[in-house]
Amino acid sequence: MTVILRAVNVSKTFETKNGERIRAVDSVNLSVGKNDFICIVGPSGCGKSTILRIISGLEPAGTGSVLFREREVKRPGPEIGMVFQDYSLFPWLQVIDNVAVGLEFSGMKKRERWKIARHYLDVVAMSEFAHAFPHELSGGMRQRVAIARAFAKDPEILLMDEPFGSLDAHTRILLQKELLRIWESHRKTVLFVTHSVDEAVYLADRVVIMSARPGRIREVLPIDMERPRSRANPLFGRLTDHILQRLEEEVTGRSI
């Protein structure tokens, strides 16, 4: 495994307005290999989003560091892309411009930007909506556009923070399949936060199980199943049960 990203002893403490100190992340160590698909699960408020923000360079680590190809990540850069839960599309831009928006900064001409945007809209089956506006799309369609935008920028690593969290179950399963297909054809490295254990076992090469706050890595569980995976496979059920049990222990504070 070629390691391209490492979190080394990353901790973070926030100070609230009334002076209270909240330790959100505690001594997280994680090595991410090229083309890995890693899912992070953990109790609500355990610091999952904070870890992703630190890895992306949006938030400084309190102590410790994040290394991308052994160089410290200090600010957001083109090598690391991010997809959030709430689509974060620009409402005043048509779909194709929403996908192309990250490319302007690299000084590319509009014709070239649109060519790339069209390709990725095609990949996420949204070509016919290229000139629609975000408010004309369903939640699932908007999230497809957000994924197309993230891939269009061609980052080596894609960070996804509960990207399918607000979608209905059917759309969610459809987009999980599509994401795997794009990941396989475009060879990306993905770090994916989810509160759905089913989603994690369906998608990941390895599932990182976090403890309750302050978030520590409790266990890293390899998912040794061929893709496409079947939820009817008994191993799928056993792995899901195992993770659910760990999470329940974290929430109730005792072994069960």
Residues in touch with ligand ADP (CB under 6 A):
14, 16, 22, 24, 42, 44-50, 213
Q: How far is the CB of 45 from Mg ion (least distance, A)?
A: 8
* Closest residue to Mg ion: CB criterion: 49
Which of ligand ADP, Mg ion, none sits in contact with 222, Cβ below 5 to 8 A by type?
Answer: none
Q: Are 8 and 27 in contact (CB under 8 A)?
A: no
Question: Exposed, middle or buried by CB within 10 Å (0-12, 13-18, 19+), for 50?
Answer: buried
Residue 80 or 117: the one with the smaller Cβ distance to Mg ion is: 80
Q: Are 222 and 205 in contact (CB under 8 A)?
A: yes
Residue 57 or 130: the one with the smaller Cβ distance to Mg ion is: 57
Q: How far is the CB of 36 from ligand ADP (least distance, A)?
A: 20
Which of Mg ion, ligand ADP, none sits in contact with 213, Cβ below 5 to 8 A by type?
Answer: ligand ADP
3-state secondary structure of 206: strand
Q: How far is the CB of 168 from Mg ion (least distance, A)?
A: 20
154 phi/psi in degrees, rounded to 5: 55, 50
103 phi/psi in degrees, rounded to 5: -90, -20
Q: How far is the CB of 239 from Mg ion (least distance, A)?
A: 23
Which of ligand ADP, Mg ion, none sits in contact with 180, Cβ below 5 to 8 A by type?
Answer: none
C-alpha distances (whole Å) from 141 to each of 48, 89, 163 are: 25, 11, 12
Torsion on CA atoms 76, 65, 10, 162, rounded to nearest 10: 20
Residues that bind Mg ion (CB under 5 A): 49
Residue 54 or 103: the one with the smaller Cβ distance to Mg ion is: 54
Per-residue b or e along 185-197, where b marks 16 or more CB atoms closer than 10 Å to that residue's CB: eeebbbbbbbebb
Q: Which residue has the tokens 């850069």?
A: 77
Residue 193 or 221: the one with the smaller Cβ distance to ligand ADP is: 193
Phi-psi region of 154 (alpha: psi -120 to 50; beta: other; left: phi over 0): left
Residue 2 or 16: the one with the smaller Cβ distance to ligand ADP is: 16
Q: How far is the CB of 183 from ligand ADP (least distance, A)?
A: 22
| CA–CA distance, 234 with 61 (Å, rounded to integer) | 40
Which of ligand ADP, Mg ion, none sits in contact with 18, Cβ below 5 to 8 A by type?
Answer: none
Which of Mg ion, ligand ADP, none sits in contact with 2, Cβ below 5 to 8 A by type?
Answer: none
Non-local (6+) Cβ contacts of 221 within 8 A are 206, 207, 209, 239, 242, 243
Residue 137 or 212: the one with the smaller Cβ distance to ligand ADP is: 212
Residue 123 or 210: the one with the smaller Cβ distance to Mg ion is: 210
Q: How far is the CB of 51 from ligand ADP (least distance, A)?
A: 7
Q: How far is the CB of 199 from Mg ion (least distance, A)?
A: 14
